Amino acid sequence: MISAGDFRNGITLEIEGQVVQVIEFQHVKPGKGAAFVRTKLKNIISGGVVEKTFRPTEKFPAARIDRLDMQYLYKDGDLFNYMNTETYDQISLTEDQVGDSMKFVKENEMVKMLSYNGMIFSVEPPLFVELEITETEPGFKGDTATGASKPATVETGALVYVPLFVERGEKIQIDTRTGEYLKRV
């Protein structure tokens, strides 16, 4: 059991029959009245965000989230196929279940499956990936005074904004959380 006074960003709890993750929290001690904890909670199954306040003494059970390493195999229509590298079990997830998390992941890369009570609710790609640029416009000399960028398509089909000096066929490193270009490889 975790009391509201011990909330931290990222912890996962069961509140009113729903599994939620604390996104933000703030301990408030008004001049008059009792202290309270103001929070922003994200429902990990539906993705909805709710703001709630709690007394610091309220207690909630911690939700056990399982993280399992799986290998992304291939996309078949609107299904993404994964394999557990230890048991060789395969599962398929729809585009709705996966969301945008797979737009920077190539086939045969490892991802983390997040599940609660055996139900997968999210896929976490690696934090950084190296991808080859398949299409981009050529940069122009003297056009770099403002640190300008141009759109580029990477081998997974995702669009990334890169500096003007990056050319087609080069490999770049991308932060999958923000979708930003980091460096050439």
Q: State the residue for tokens 């001690």.
A: 29
Each residue of 90-135: pLDDT tens digit? 888 888 778 778 888 888 889 998 888 888 877 888 889 888 998 8
Q: How does residue 138 score in pLDDT terms, banded at 50, 70 and 90? A: confident
CATH no. of 2-60: 2.30.30.30
C-alpha 126, offset from chain centre: 9
pLDDT at 86 over 80: yes
* Pick from 44-48, 54-58, 69-73, 181-185: least confident: 44-48
Whole-structure pTM value: 0.68
Domains of the chain by residue range: 2-60, 66-124, 128-184
| CATH fold of the domain at 128-184 | OB fold (Dihydrolipoamide Acetyltransferase, E2P) (2.40.50)
Predicted confidence at residue 145, as pLDDT, reads 60
Secondary structure element (H or E) that encloses residue 98, with its range: helix 95-98
